[in-house]
Amino acid sequence: MLTIWGRLNSHNVKKVVWLVDEIGLPYVRHDIGGKFGMTEEYRALNPNALIPTIEDDGVTLWESNAILRYLAARYDRDRFWPNDPAARAVGDKWIDWQFSFAEAQRDAFLNLIRRPMADRNAIQIAKSGEETAKMMLRLNQALGESPWLSGANFGLGDIPMGVYAHTWFTLELKRPDVPNVRAWYDRLVERPAYASTVMIPLT
């Protein structure tokens, strides 16, 4: 059985659990990282001491987006990992683009969620808000051309940014009008696996 190591309030763990739930794979998940700490046994699995890590039929793998690609290719190629490289690349580029968005959003998230109000840095929050707003305008343009980041249908390319979009819409930030992103997000909210895995309190 698939084993997922990582606490669910991690963006990167949410990605993996959401995909696994979409596919319908049985799995067990162990809380690790953050307040749960890390054991030496876990560090032996992942020398980076980050989450998530998976173990699957003799395969040990870390790096969340690599895990997404592996699970999609192994368990649900038709929906999530098309054989046609051009079709696959439509969503694949957004998987990696998410890392840039995560970097831009980090300061807003840390200040507004992880720090007490007295310790928050308003300049960092404002800068992070401006940077993510610019990136969401780019996303809005892309979603005006197709309903999903993966193309005509929901796919792997929607998962990483889908996790970060929920955070963006939840944080108390000044947001531009992005109707295409909002419509895409509303479609994600309708997916049971998204609602149960991603739409949990930010901590």
What share of the chain has pLDDT > 70, as a percent?
Answer: 100
Q: Are 149 and 84 in contact (CB under 8 A)?
A: no
Q: What is the CATH number of the domain that holds 68?
A: 3.40.30.10
In a domain, 201, yes or no: no
Task: Give the domain-ending residue among 27, 56, 79.
Answer: 79
Task: Give the domain-ending residue among 33, 56, 79.
Answer: 79
Query: Band of the pLDDT at 9, cuts 50, 70, 90?
Result: very high
| Number of domains within the chain | 2
Q: Are 124 and 114 in contact (CB under 8 A)?
A: no
Average pLDDT rounded to a whole number, residues 90-105: 97
Q: How confident is the model at residue 178, as a pLDDT?
A: 98
Average pLDDT rounded to a whole number, residues 127-134: 98
Higher pLDDT, 56 or 78: 56
Tell me the two tokens of residue 87.
């079709």
Which segments of the chain does DSSP mark as H helices, in order? 11-23, 40-45, 64-75, 77-80, 85-109, 122-145, 159-170, 179-189, 192-197
Tell me the two tokens of residue 11.
């963006």
Q: How confident is the model at residue 78, as a pLDDT?
A: 87
What share of the chain has pLDDT > 90, as a percent?
Answer: 98
Do 109 and 174 reside in the same domain of the chain? yes
DSSP-based three-state secondary structure for 71: helix
Tell me the two tokens of residue 52.
């998530």
Q: Which domain holds residue 133?
A: 86-196
Average pLDDT rounded to a whole number, residues 77-105: 95
pLDDT of 118 higher than 90: yes
Do 92 and 71 reside in the same domain of the chain? no
Q: Are 173 and 129 in contact (CB under 8 A)?
A: yes
Q: pTM of the entire structure? A: 0.96
Tell me the two tokens of residue 158.
């929607």
Identify the helix (H) or strand (E) that includes residue 52: none
What are 160-192's pLDDT values in tens digits?
A: 999 999 999 999 999 999 999 999 999 999 999
Average pLDDT rounded to a whole number, residues 106-117: 97
Please give the mean pLDDT across all residues of the chain: 97
Angle between helix 159-170 and 122-145 (nearest 10): 130
Average pLDDT rounded to a whole number, residues 54-71: 97
Average pLDDT rounded to a whole number, residues 131-137: 98
What are 48-62's pLDDT values in tens digits?
A: 999 999 999 999 999
